């Protein structure tokens, strides 16, 4: 196997904060080793910097149902409708672990208590211009406790969230017709591949 580069094979020579608001934008100047040997010329790149986030696919193994949320996303303004079907998600705040985030966000965004959590994987959503890891989980919940007539989210965060409860198969089927945001796609694909194993692990 060929040599694998690491962080030690990058030289950062300058870091500038260009903007610090809801997101932080930085410009990094750096050089890195080349596959053919030697070092690159200095490169400058603007990068959005965010903290890590946790995403939770709410799944009730007893009745084989999934709970998705729907909310407006300004980054989807080129979409036919910028209201997207998503999984519950939230930023990891200082002092929190992933389980804290999963339980807090499930309550805030969907009004449900999460039981067991099953780790899926982590991924970089856009490594060419964004510093952030998303960590994905399946979260056990009780579908009988869902109130579809209520709207959720925090007013101080300008959230306005509607719930959608459906069978796992219906949710997976939406991958072909409606769902096109990365975290929901990957969560539902993971469920399609691992549902039987997860149900067995959780005793169903």
Point out the residues that are catalytic: 157
The residues pairing with 54 across neighbouring beta strands, listed in sequence order, are 90, 135
Question: Of 198, 83, 200, which Cα lies nearest the Cα of 138?
Answer: 198
SS3 59: strand
What the block records as the tokens of 134 is 């998303």
Q: How many CA atoms lie within 13 A of 57 on its CB side?
A: 33
Per-residue burial over 174-188, b = 16 or more CB atoms within 10 Å of its CB, e = otherwise: beeeebebebbebbb
């Amino acid at each position: 196997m060929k040599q694998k580069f690491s962080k030690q094979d990058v030289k950062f020579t300058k870091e500038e904060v260009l903007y610090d608001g809801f997101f932080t934008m930085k410009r990094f100047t750096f050089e890195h080793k080349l596959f053919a040997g030697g070092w690159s010329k200095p490169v400058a790149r603007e990068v959005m910097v965010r903290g890590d986030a946790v995403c939770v696919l709410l799944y009730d193994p007893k009745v084989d149902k999934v709970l998705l949320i729907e909310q407006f996303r300004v980054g989807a303004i080129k979409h036919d409708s910028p209201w997207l079907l998503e999984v519950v998600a939230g930023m990891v705040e200082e002092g929190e672990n992933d389980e804290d985030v999963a339980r807090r966000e499930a309550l805030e965004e969907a009004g449900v208590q999460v039981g067991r959590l099953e780790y899926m994987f982590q991924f970089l959503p856009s490594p060419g211009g964004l510093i952030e890891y998303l960590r994905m989980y399946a979260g056990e919940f009780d579908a009988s406790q869902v109130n579809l007539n209520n709207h959720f989210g925090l007013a101080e965060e300008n959230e306005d969230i509607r719930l959608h409860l459906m069978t796992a198969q219906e949710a997976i089927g939406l991958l072909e017709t409606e769902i096109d945001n990365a975290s929901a796609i990957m969560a539902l694909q993971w469920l399609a591949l691992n549902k039987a194993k997860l149900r067995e692990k959780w005793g169903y």
